[in-house]
């Protein structure tokens, strides 16, 4: 998600290319906003620090600064002839032995003013996630298993649970626990698959035919179907029938596969139990949701930016002595913009945009994210 700042000719500071990029949504944060919001005022009120960045080290692996928000992913390079210091920001993961001055794919030349604005924009993003409750919002959590009593040899070469987000890649899964109802205590390999790729292999030890869940920490996120597969073998099954469409946020069903390896096998869908139980959570990934729908959410992001800038002006965290003269607004006017929701103020625009976006989220078909469900529904002996 690119949130850009357009040139407003209020400051002689040259912002870096990342800030001056064309926004993904087409809306610049500082365009079409209150006239008191400009680059010069923003830089005046944002925190000012005497930063000292470590010199570039070709033996160190750097990460993406805007992901880590770690000052160690920013470096300085000193020209030996002129003694001029240039600041670079790492923009790619696993950044090792790439000289900043000659590796534009890995490093971005920047300056302290650009970094100050970027960190403020990251705070705006965090506020958006918080206000929209998009920080790992739980869609669904439940056990998928049956109390099997009948021994059965699974068909074909592999058997699997198949999990598919309902139409989008912004639903992620976490497999909290897995159970395999089989005789003995010989460990069984469990294959974690996405489309034709083997992501991981773990081992689960059955408990002599009993339902016994083992803690796991498997996180699945991305496009396409995910499979939790085992080699076909003797397991215990019941008479439960799987309804693939009953789960909020995702589709779940079983399948059997034929082939030499789990990731390359051909799978046939089924609605019968396979002796494998899951404790699964489905989450909405707020970052992907916003990226997928940025054109619609952009006005709310900009409204949030406006409100946060005025909060900075009002609270004056850096104790600027001439604040009122600088932005031509006294405390009462600042408070009115942030508190008076009856007039055409920033806070009113913020709430209007927030309501519009929240209503859209609640109507999202493929995640069913409505928060108006009360109580718990418990079903016994069903998948």
Tens digit of each residue's pLDDT (9 = 90 or more) over 124-170: 988 988 888 766 667 778 889 888 999 999 999 999 999 988 766 67
Helix/strand/coil for 130: helix
Which of 238, 253, 285 marks a domain boundary? 285
Whether 297 maps to a domain, the answer reads no
Residue pair 143/278 in contact by the 8 Å Cβ criterion: yes
| Lowest-pLDDT range of 30-34, 35-39, 244-248 | 244-248
CATH number of the domain that residue 168 is part of: 2.60.120
Same domain, 120 and 16: no
> In 3-state terms, what secondary structure has residue 299?
helix
CB 189 within 8 A of CB 230: yes
Q: Is residue 374 part of a domain?
A: no
Same domain, 144 and 278: yes
372: pLDDT strictly greater than 70: no
In a domain, 382, yes or no: no
* Residues in contact with 122: Cβ distance below 8 Å, sequence separation at least 6, in sequence order: 66, 69
Which pair of tokens denotes residue 330?
């006294």
Number of structural domains (the chain) is: 3
Q: What is the pLDDT of residue 49?
A: 67
Q: Are residues 68 and 143 located together in one domain of the fold?
A: no
Question: Between vectors from CA 42 to CA 37 and to CA 304, what angle results, nearest 5°?
Answer: 60
Q: Three-state SS for 109? A: strand
Same structural domain, 162 and 231 = yes
Q: What angle do CA 311, 316, 317 make, to 5 degrees?
A: 100
pLDDT at 291: 75
Q: Does some domain include residue 337?
A: yes
Please tell me whether residues 148 and 253 are part of one structural domain: yes
Where are the strands (E) in the chain, listed by range? 61-62, 74-78, 85-90, 95-96, 107-110, 137-144, 150-153, 158-165, 171-180, 188-194, 197-204, 214-220, 226-231, 234-237, 250-258, 266-270, 276-284
Please give the pLDDT value at position 320: 55
**Are residues 209 and 236 both part of a single domain?**
yes
Across the range 204-210, mean pLDDT stands at: 94
pLDDT at 373 over 60: no
For the entire predicted model, the pTM comes to 0.70
151 with 252, same domain?
yes
Looking at the DSSP bridge assignments, the partners of residue 86 are 77
Nearest CA to 234 among 268, 214, 206, 195?
206
> Per mean pLDDT, which range of 15-24, 46-55, 148-157 is the poorest?
46-55
Token digits of residue 30: 């500082």
Average pLDDT over residues 74-97: 94
**Residue whose C-alpha is closest to residue 356's, from 288, 311, 303, 278:** 303
What whole-number distance in Å separates Cα of residue 325 and Cα of residue 34?
A: 17
Mean pLDDT of the chain: 86
Same domain assignment for residues 198 and 280? yes
2 CB burial (10 A radius; 0-12, 13-18, 19+): exposed
Can you tell me the distance from the alpha carbon of 148 to that of 211, in angstroms, rounded to the nearest whole number? 9
SS3 214: strand
Q: Please indicate, yes or no, whether residues 233 and 312 belong to a single structural domain of this protein.
A: no
Check: CB of residue 87 under 8 Å from CB of residue 112.
yes
* Residue 27 confidence (pLDDT): 85
Q: In this model, does residue 374 exceed pLDDT 90?
A: no
Q: How confident is the model at residue 378 (pLDDT cuts 50, 70, 90)?
A: very low
Which residue segment(s) compose the domain that 236 sits in? 137-285
55 and 35 together in one domain: no
Percent of the chain with pLDDT over 90: 57
User: 86-100, 338-352, 354-368: which has the minimum mean pLDDT?
Assistant: 354-368
Shared domain for 176 and 258, answered yes or no, is yes
Q: Is residue 190 part of a domain?
A: yes
Residue 288: its pLDDT value, please? 73
Q: Tell me whether residue 142 is in a domain.
A: yes
What per-residue confidence (pLDDT) applies to 22? 86
Task: Note whether 116 and 83 are within 8 A (CB).
Answer: no
Q: Is the dihedral of CA 294, 299, 305, 311 positive or negative?
A: negative
Confidence check: pLDDT of 182 > 50:
yes
Q: What is the spatial distance between Cα 71 and Cα 41, in angstroms, rounded to a whole number?
A: 25
Question: Angle between the 331-339 and 346-362 helix axes, to the nearest 10 degrees?
Answer: 20
Whole-angstrom distance, CA of residue 139 vs CA of residue 162 = 18
Lowest mean pLDDT among 97-111, 125-139, 341-355: 125-139
pLDDT for 377 equals 36
Decide if 188 is inside a domain: yes
Residues 218 and 313 in one domain: no
Q: Are 36 and 313 in contact (CB under 8 A)?
A: yes
pLDDT for 167: 62
Q: Is 131 inside any structural domain?
A: no
Q: Would you say 172 and 283 are in contact if contact means Cβ atoms under 8 Å apart?
A: yes
pLDDT tens-digit series, residues 126-138: 898 888 876 666 7
């Amino acid at each position: 998600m690119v949130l850009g700042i357009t040139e407003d000719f209020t400051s002689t500071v040259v912002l870096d290319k990342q800030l001056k990029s064309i926004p993904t949504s087409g809306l610049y944060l500082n365009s079409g906003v209150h006239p008191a919001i400009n680059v010069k005022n923003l830089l005046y009120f944002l925190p000012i620090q005497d930063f000292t960045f470590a010199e570039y080290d070709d033996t160190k692996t750097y990460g993406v600064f805007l992901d880590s928000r770690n000052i160690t992913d920013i470096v300085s390079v000193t020209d030996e002839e002129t003694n001029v210091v240039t600041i670079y920001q790492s923009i790619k993961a696993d950044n090792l032995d790439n000289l900043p001055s000659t590796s534009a794919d890995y490093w971005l030349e920047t300056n302290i003013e650009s970094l100050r604005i970027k960190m403020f924009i990251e705070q705006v993003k965090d506020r958006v996630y918080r206000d929209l409750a998009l920080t790992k919002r739980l869609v669904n959590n439940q056990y998928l298993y049956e109390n099997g009593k009948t021994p059965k040899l699974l068909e074909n070469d592999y058997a699997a649970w198949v999990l598919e987000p309902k139409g989008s890649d912004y639903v992620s899964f976490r497999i909290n626990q897995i159970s395999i109802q089989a005789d003995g205590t010989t460990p069984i390999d469990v294959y974690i698959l996405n489309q034709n790729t083997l992501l991981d292999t773990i081992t689960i030890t059955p408990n002599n035919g009993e339902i016994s869940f083992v803690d796991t920490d498997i996180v699945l996120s991305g496009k396409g179907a995910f499979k939790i597969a085992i080699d076909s073998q003797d397991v215990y099954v019941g008479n439960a029938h799987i309804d693939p469409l009953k789960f909020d946020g995702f589709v779940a069903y079983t399948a059997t596969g034929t082939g030499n390896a789990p990731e390359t096998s051909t799978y046939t869908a089924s609605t019968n139990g396979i002796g494998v139980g899951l404790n699964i959570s489905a989450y909405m990934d707020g970052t992907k949701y916003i990226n997928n729908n940025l054109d619609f959410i952009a006005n709310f992001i900009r409204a949030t930016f406006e409100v946060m800038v005025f909060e900075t002006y009002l609270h004056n965290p850096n104790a600027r002595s001439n604040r009122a003269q600088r932005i031509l607004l006294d405390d009462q006017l600042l408070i009115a913009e942030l508190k008076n929701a009856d007039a055409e103020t920033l806070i009113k625009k913020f709430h209007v945009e927030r309501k519009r976006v929240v209503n859209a989220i609640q109507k999202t078909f493929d995640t069913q994210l409505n928060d108006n469900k009360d109580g718990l529904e418990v079903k016994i002996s069903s998948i």
